[in-house]
Structure formats: C-alpha cells, structure tokens
C-alpha cells in the first residue's frame, strides 16, 4: 500500500517493517492493529501507520504519569548509582538551551502534568507559565501554580497568537499525524524571533522506538530540519548528547522565508539507518520466538519493564513460566506490570532459570554486567540483539 511521507509528502511504496497485530504503544498497552514502519528516501523520515481514532486515543486513553503525584521516569543512573529523573533533566536542559530573557512568557504545548515547566519556573520564578493539552485530565495538576486564564485544553485561544517568547514541547511531535502543520501552529504562537524547544526520541540511539505504535514519526536530524523549514522555523541547534535515546532541537521563528536545503548524503544515511533498524527488529523477533521455545516451561524474569520488556512479555508468556519484571527504577519497584511484580534486580529470586533482557540493545550488556544478581552461575541470559 502506497502512503505519503508525513514530512515531505513523497509517496512511499512499501513498508520496511511489518509485524502482525497487536501493536504495542508507549503506554505499554496493546492495540489490535499490525505494526507497519515506512522509510522516506526523499527526506530521511521514518513513520508508523496511522492509529484508528487518534483524537479519542489522546483524549481518553493516553495517560502519561497520572497514576501518582510523584511519578517520573528514569533517564539515566548517576555514577553513585542513584537515578536521575527525566523531568529534572529536561528542566535543566531547557533553561540552558533557551537562555530565556527575564520575565519571559513560556508555553508548554502538549503539557501533560507540565512537571518540566513547573521545575523550570521553580528555578526561574520570573517566568510566566502557560499550558496546553488535548485532554482536560491534567488540569488538577496545573491548578495552584498556573493561572486559570493561562490554561487551555483542546483548542488554543486566538488571543495566544504571537504571545510567547518560548514554547517547549517535550516528546509530543512523534505522536502527531501532521507534524508540519503542528509546527506551523507553534510558529504562530511565538513572538517574532521567539524560540521553540522540541524533544523527541532518537531512533538511531534507541532502536525500540521504531516499533512504538503511537509514535507515528521517527525523526532523523535531516527530516526534522526539513519539517522545521517547511513550517517557517530556522533550526538553531540539535543536541543529541543531553538526553540518552532522544534529542533536543531549538528553532527560531523566522519572519523571512526559510530556504529548503537538502543534504543528500545526510538524507541517504538517515534512510539507510532506519532500514537497518527495521532489519534488526525482524531478526530480534525471530531470535526471541526461538528462545521462548528453547526455554519453554522454565522459570523466567524480564529485566526492564519499559517498552522492550513489555514487548518481550508479549512474545514469551505463552511458553515460559514468567515470574517477574526487574527494574532499577525505585518508583516502579513494588508495583505490578502485566500482572507480574516489578522487583529490584538484586531481588531476583534464586529459583529463576533465565532472564530475558528488555533494555535498549545499545546499552543492555553494560547494564547487565553492573548487576551482581545477574552473574549467578547457571542463570541463562537471553538478548534480543546478536
């Protein structure tokens, strides 16, 4: 089936990756659709197929971090072994990259609970926060620190046009079906020369993102630059080092037409990398299915309760005696995931025969090597990468 690239509208004749239903979302839930990933040779963009009833999904189904007041996600572990949480790091990176003027008016677009913006405002009390989301469920989290007139849901007020010195939009653009239109909307909310900070998954650094069903877009540096240019935004910087598995981009509202420049070598490299990741997932699926049969009936655990671990669970639970997830995040330990307990790796039960590693394959072996409990003689370790 031929589809159009979401960035440059070039027709794409066939999928580079296909897996039968169900598809796994970023919320670790399943949707009864196949997973289809397409790669564009014209701009280096990769994309998944549309979700059915996408507006309803984000209004009533997509619930990020609503389960507790202090829920957060680990993005890294410090040298002393303590976790570093995502929103703390996002706030620090945002303040550094945006270099906001005193008294700046700032909007968090697709805010969720707006925890990152709240932490930015704690560090900079002079900022004037505004929030927008496509669901009303987050409003209780905004009340008390964002004035009601600075909150909006579903539709952005016309009075906000040209209002903001800066906009932040963290891990939103990968979800939108029309990213160029999305960026044009944000441009229209900025003052002249106002700046936009985006964050999004970097599929080259986190290959699992390629198969996340509700991540409709898998940007490369080349395709993001093209999307920004088409929207009238001038790219200032892409920071791929600040956040493992993601990149941050800063763009400025331009009052002059932005030239569309195409680095053919960069675009070709991005498309080749996307297809390489699709090939990895084809092989990983075969490898995991084989391992599930090999360890049929054995007592098993999965290290990682995020996307990779959830995907592994769906592939192995019919064959192995799946006992528990292991996770370093202390805020997940003691909870349940797919009806299994989430334990600290050190609490792995001694009768477990095999551990399936559900971590970013670019970092998985180093993470496992750091866990003494996983070095037990006789414990089998299954990797999704070769």
The two three-digit tokens of residue 381, written as one number = 């370790």
* pLDDT of 78: 67
* pLDDT of 57: 54
Whether the Cβ atoms of residue 256 and residue 359 lie closer than 8 Å to each other: no
* pLDDT of 27: 85
* pLDDT of 22: 86
Cis peptide preceding 66, ω within 30 of 0 = no
Domains and CATH numbers, the chain: 295-382 (3.40.50.720)
* pLDDT of 68: 42
Q: How far apart are the first and last CA of the chain?
A: 31
* pLDDT of 67: 47
* pLDDT of 70: 45
* pLDDT by 10s per residue, the chain, length 386: 789 999 999 999 999 999 888 899 988 888 889 999 999 999 999 999 998 865 555 555 554 544 444 456 666 666 777 777 789 999 999 999 999 999 999 999 999 999 999 999 999 999 999 999 999 999 999 999 999 999 999 999 999 999 999 999 999 999 999 999 999 999 999 999 999 999 999 999 999 999 999 999 999 999 999 999 999 999 999 999 988 889 999 999 999 989 887 899 999 999 999 999 999 999 998 999 999 999 999 999 999 999 999 999 988 999 999 999 999 988 899 999 999 999 999 999 999 999 999 999 988 999 999 999 999 999 999 999 87
Instruction: Compute the distance between CA of residue 171 and CA of residue 198 in angstroms, rounded to an integer.
Output: 7
Residues 6 or more apart whose CB falls under 8 angstroms from that of 333 comprise: 327, 342, 343, 344
Instruction: Compute the distance between CA of residue 181 and CA of residue 148 in angstroms, rounded to an integer.
Output: 27
Provide the angle, in degrees to the nearest 10, between the axes of the packed helices 179-189 and 221-230. 60
* pLDDT of 273: 97
* pLDDT of 376: 95
Burial of 326 (C-beta count, 10 Å sphere; 0-12/13-18/19+) = buried
């Amino acid at each position: 089936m031929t589809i159009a690239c979401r960035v440059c509208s070039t027709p794409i004749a066939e999928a580079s990756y296909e897996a039968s239903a169900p598809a796994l979302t970023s919320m670790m839930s399943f949707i009864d659709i196949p997973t289809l990933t397409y790669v564009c040779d014209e701009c280096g963009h990769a994309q998944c197929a549309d979700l059915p009833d996408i507006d309803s999904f984000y209004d009533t189904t997509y619930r990020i971090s609503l389960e507790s007041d202090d829920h957060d996600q680990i993005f890294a572990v410090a040298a002393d072994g303590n976790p570093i949480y995502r929103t703390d790091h996002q706030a620090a990176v945002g303040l550094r990259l945006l270099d906001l003027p005193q008294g700046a008016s700032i909007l968090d677009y697709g805010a969720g609970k707006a925890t990152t913006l709240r932490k930015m405002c704690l560090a900079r009390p002079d900022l004037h926060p505004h929030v927008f989301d496509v669901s009303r469920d987050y409003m209780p989290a905004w009340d008390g620190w964002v004035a009601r007139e600075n909150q909006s849901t579903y539709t952005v007020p016309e009075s906000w046009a040209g209002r903001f010195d800066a906009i932040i939009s963290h891990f939103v653009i990968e979800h939108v079906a029309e990213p160029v239109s999305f960026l044009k909307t944000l441009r229209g909310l900025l003052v002249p020369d106002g700046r936009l900070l985006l964050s999004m998954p970097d599929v080259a650094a986190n290959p699992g993102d390629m198969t996340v069903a509700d991540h409709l877009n898998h940007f490369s540096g080349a395709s993001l630059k093209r999307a920004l240019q088409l929207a009238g935004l001038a790219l200032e910087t892409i920071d791929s080092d600040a956040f493992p598995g993601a990149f941050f981009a800063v763009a400025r509202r331009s009052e002059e037409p932005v030239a569309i420049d195409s680095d053919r070598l960069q675009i070709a490299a991005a498309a080749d990398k996307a297809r390489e990741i699709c090939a990895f997932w084809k092989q990983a699926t075969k490898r995991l299915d084989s391992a599930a049969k090999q360890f049929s009936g054995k007592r098993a655990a999965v290290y990682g309760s995020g996307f990779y671990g959830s995907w592994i669970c769906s592939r192995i639970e019919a064959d192995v005696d799946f006992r528990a997830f292991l996770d370093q995040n202390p805020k997940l330990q003691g909870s349940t995931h797919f009806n299994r307990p989430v334990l600290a790796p050190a609490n792995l039960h001694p009768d477990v025969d095999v551990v399936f590693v559900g971590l970013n394959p670019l970092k998985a072996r180093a993470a496992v090597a750091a866990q003494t409990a996983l070095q037990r003689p006789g414990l089998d370790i299954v990797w999704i990468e070769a």
